[in-house]
Structure 1
Amino acid sequence: MTHATHTPRPTAETWALIRDDYRSGITAPVLAERYGVPERTLRRRAALEGWRRADAPTPSLATPPAWLRPPVSREEALARDPDLAEVDAAEGGDRIGLLFDPDPRHLRLFAFRQASEAAAMDRPVQAVSWMRLAQIVDRCGDRIEADGRPLREVDHLRAAYLRRLGELLPEDMPADDA
């Protein structure tokens, strides 16, 4: 069995040398080998600290990358593109359907669509969460379907009775103060 060799962490002075060499135009793989630092660590530090190589173009600050931009709220998205109202209404219908008549197949498809949307919007944590839900429903779907619906027949009858009772009561009748 081989053991990984432990390399000491670079000091602040070493990082300053790496930064200066990087800015002068030396590539990350060359610097990683020269200073014994993992290339990924070097690239991550360069990105976090905003190092720019001499031969790299200056990034435009007018449009930051998607992962740095704050998320757009539903209201802002609808204000920017009114055509999204139809999509929003359809999504609301999906959610209501899941609330009142949950079905494992529809929940799995809904979770997958949400995961796809989150991935497309550069929200990887949400995408992974939605995909986990889709996988769990996929594994448990048959069992959930076999266990039955959350609303029993008596619940539907009770709701219909209360609806009819509300229609029969006169509107000007005072509420019972019990």
Structure 2
Amino acid sequence: MDDQATNTGRQVVPEAVWETVKADYLAGLSGPDCCRRHGVSLSALRNRAAREGWRRSDQPWIPPQSLDPWDEGRILEERICGNLDLIEWGELSGVAEGRMMRAVLRGDSAEFMRWHKVAEIIEVREAELRRWAEEEEVRKFHIRQRARDIEAEEAEPDSGDYLDSEFAESLEEQGPVRGFRITRDGELVRVKPREVDDADLSSPSLGDEEEAGPG
């Protein structure tokens, strides 16, 4: 029977609960966390540990794992097998929000504020990446549009060289527009036929080989 419970008239903690507390404590869970998890007081835990000789140093060494088995971050890391390239920023937001909620349930306001700040930083980072992706799409669109304009200005009426609507779809799917490249000054220039044929093998140097398109 717990001495503290006897002296104060409080309800006695069952031995089965103390066995679970002992197992968690010896497994590495901190005293305050053990108390919150099992509803015992810290002073009672310390008295019990001293009386029964709970010593972590007597336990076999196990690599530390501070996360709960059901922690969102731990589950995510196991799913990707440690490959960070597979993680989306939205998944990190979910981890931060899950830990915020757990902190509230545990009554740990400091931990809640830490993860709230992390969630805000992740949200800002997500917004930056979305903005960058949108700007990159706009830039590519203008490059393709300028290439069409140059083709149209150079082509004779009804010539097969003009980028008509049938060919436009395939052009949209291309990366760099075939037949053009961007100079160091950001100008879209026509590449001579010989350079186009060699483009897959080498990157032509910028210089006399370039002919700036009209306009």
TM-score, L = length of structure 2: 0.27
- Higher normalized contact order (CA 8 Å, seq sep 6+, divided by chain length): 1
Compare CA radii of gyration and give the structure with the larger one.
2
More strand by share: 2
